[in-house]
Amino acid sequence: MRCQYRMRFGMGIGLGLILMGLGIGCGGKQHILTVAGSTAFQATAVELANRYSGNHPEVTVTAEAIGSAAGREAVLAGTADIGMIDSEGGGGMPTGLVGTVVAWDAIAVIVHPDNPVIGLTSAQVRDIFAGRIKNWAEVGGRDSAINRMLREQGSGTRLIFEDRLGINVSEGNVVISDSNGAVREMVANDAQAIGYISRGSLTRRVRAVSIDGEDCTEDRIAARQYQLAHPILMVTREVVPAKAGNFILFVLSDEGRDVVRQGGFVVP
């Protein structure tokens, strides 16, 4: 139900933003646009920035990976024009900000390719990351300890993961990293490891397990059947500056949506 609410909210704001953008896009040109936030969306944001600057050489767009929470705070503080966030946060969108859904992502629970476990239940995932299940043999795997790889506090990926599955993570005897790519590489180099990352960060070096029988695939995300699916939002001030509005309009255009798809995300 929360996913459906966010989709309606984001798309409604997006339509409003389009109308605003049509009205504000005729003003003077701005030469610097700062986008900051989600590490999961970083590579795609960089490509979007490059494409936009290619179409508008008078505009320089920078995309910084500082985490969802920090990206949201940067917009509030005026140090970023657009924040990229994986989650609205526990209290919803802060007063003074509006969000537009630009993509759908999902959190993939990943293991080493040599791990024989191909699926877990939500309860098993919850117990593994809470530290109650400690050995792979307890969930049909080999007799070996489970090494847990976590994202840092403040990560949108971590917030959604723990909130959706009702996990109270025990941080004893875990490895904590500040990016999806780092978690992926740690799991890829440890046959006993388990972690969670953005679907857009998946490579053949790791394997996503199914959760409650649902795979982390584009069609299941699009159908909202995979429970760890979530929107990626671009947030701005309520009175949207022309430079931010025009860039978000580009992200929602056919060219922008192609970039989003190529990054491994699902278009809204």
Pairwise CA distance, residues 16 & 27, whole Å: 18
8-state DSSP, 165: H
Beta strand 32-37 pairing with 60-65: parallel
pTM of the model: 0.78
**Cα dihedral sign for 111, 118, 217, 228?**
negative
User: Do 134 and 146 contact (CB within 8 A), yes or no?
Assistant: yes
Q: Which domains does the chain have, with CATH numbers?
A: 2-104+229-262 (3.40.190.10), 106-222 (3.40.190.10)
pLDDT digit string (tens) for the chain, length 268 residues: 333 333 333 444 444 444 444 433 444 554 799 999 998 899 999 999 999 999 999 999 999 999 888 999 999 999 999 999 987 655 677 888 999 999 999 999 999 999 999 999 999 999 999 999 999 999 999 999 999 999 988 788 898 999 999 987 767 789 999 889 999 999 999 999 999 999 989 999 999 999 999 999 999 999 888 999 999 999 999 988 889 999 999 999 999 999 999 999 999 8
Q: Helix and strand tally (H, E) in the chain?
A: 9, 11
Buried b (16+ CB within 10 A) or exposed e, 117-142: beebebebbbbbbbbebeebeebebe
